[in-house]
Amino acid sequence: MYSRIIGTGKYLPEKILTNFDLEKMVDTTDEWIRTRTGIEHRHIAADNEATSDLAYKAGLAAIEDAGLTAADIDFVLVGTTTPDLIFPNVGCLVQEKLGIRGTPAFSLEAACSGFLYALVVADQFIRTGQVRRALVIGAETMSRIMDWTDRETCVLFGDGAGAVILEAAEEPGIIYSTLGADGRYRELLYASSGVSTRHRENSDIPALRMKGNEVFKVAVRTLESLVDDVIAKNNIEKGQIDWLIPHQANIRIINAMAKRLEMPMERVVLTVKTHGNTSAASVPMALDTAIRDGRIKRGDMLLLEAFGGGFTWGACLIRY
Ligand code: UT7
C-alpha cells in the first residue's frame, strides 16, 4: 500500500506587504531584500483571520480539486508553528469548519519542515491501512510572531496555507521520505517565549528570533546532504527528478540546491518572490502553484524538501 496526491489547494490572505512598505517601517531597502532573499512581497492575514481560517480555505480547495466532499476525508493533519490557540489544535478547528466529525485531527509543530513532517506521518497511516484519505495542510500566520522593529527577520516572512489530499493507492505516490532533527541549534532560530516558559520571559508575545547568517550555512549544508541521500537511497540519477519543490526561505539557498542536483532553474518551483517565507505553508503552496499552472504533470518525479527551526528537516520523493 502506498499513498498518492489526488488534490491540492492553497490560500493566500488578500493583504500584500511590499518591500517598499517595509522601507517605511524599518531601516531596509527593496534592493537589499530582493538581492539577499529574492522576496518582493508577502501576504499578511487580516485581523479576523487566524491560522485555522487559512488552513480551512486551502483544505477546502484541495478537497474540491480532488473531486471529493469533506465527508470523504478520514484524517486531518496540520503542520503549523502559529496555532490559533494552545488547544483545541488547528486540526480540530479545521475539522469543525469542514463540518466533519470523528476523524483523528491534530497538528504538529516542526517549524518550516512542518508540512513535510505532516505529509510523512499521514503517509505512514495510509501505508498501514488505518486511513484511506488524508487532508494534510501546512498553514501559518508568521506575521503574528514577527518583531516588526527587527529588520533582520520581519522582512522575510509571510502568511498562507497549502494543502494536499493523500489517498491510498497500489502504486506510489510517495516513493521515499526522510525526516531529521538536531536540537543543538535552538539558539539560532526560535520563538522568544512560549507556554511553559512565559513566567520567566520578559514578553508575553512570542517573537521569532534568528541568526540568519548562521542558519543559512547549516541549512545549505544539511539540505545538500539530504538531497544526496535521496538520490543515493533510491538509486536514481539526478536527471530523473523532473521538479524540485523546495522550502521557500531564500532564493540563494534554493539556487544552491538546484546546483547540487544539477537542475536548471526552470525545473525549480519558485514562489519566494511573491510569498516570502511562509514556514510550513511554503512547500504545499509551491506544489499547488505548479500543478495548477500546468507545469507539473501526472507521472512527473517530484522532490520536496524543507529545513527550519529545531533544527528540523525533511524530504519526499514523489511520483505525481
Ligand atoms: O525558513 C527557516 C530557515 N531560515 C532560513 O533558511 C533563513 C536563512 N538565512 C537567510 O536567508 C539569510 O541569512 C538572511 C536573508 C536572513 C540574511 O542574509 P545574509 O546575506 O546572511 O546577511 P547577513 O545576516 O550576513 O547581514 C549582512 C548585512 C548586515 O550588516 P553588516 O553587519 O554587514 O553591516 C546586516 O545588519 O545586512 C544587514 N541587514 C540588513 N540590511 C538591510 C540585515 N537585515 C537587513 C535588512 N535590510 N532587512
* DSSP per residue, 187-247: GGEEES--TTTGGGSS-SS--EEE-HHHHHHHHHHHHHHHHHHHHHHTT--GGG--EEEE-
The whole-angstrom separation of Cα 56 and Cα 164 is 12
Cell 538531497, located at residue = 227
Q: Is the pLDDT of residue 244 over 70?
A: yes
Expressed in angstroms and rounded, the spacing between residue 216 Cα and the centre of ligand 1 is 9
Protein residue closest via CA to atom 44 of ligand 1: 152
What's the pTM?
0.98
Q: Which positions are annotated as active-site residues?
A: 112, 247, 277
- pLDDT band for 264, please (50, 70, 90 cuts): very high
Atom of ligand 1 nearest to the CA of 219: 6
Atom of ligand 1 nearest to the CA of 249: 1
- What confidence tens digit (pLDDT) does each residue in 67-97 have? 999 999 999 999 999 999 999 999 999 999 9
- What confidence tens digit (pLDDT) does each residue in 158-210 have? 999 999 999 999 999 999 999 999 999 999 999 988 888 878 776 667 899 99
The whole-angstrom separation of Cα 92 and Cα 110 is 18
pLDDT, average across residues 31-49: 98
User: What is the dihedral sign for C-alpha 166, 163, 259, 142?
Assistant: negative
pLDDT score of 188: 98
- pLDDT band for 301, please (50, 70, 90 cuts): very high
- What confidence tens digit (pLDDT) does each residue in 15-24 have? 999 999 999 9
Q: Containing H/E element for 11?
A: strand 2-11
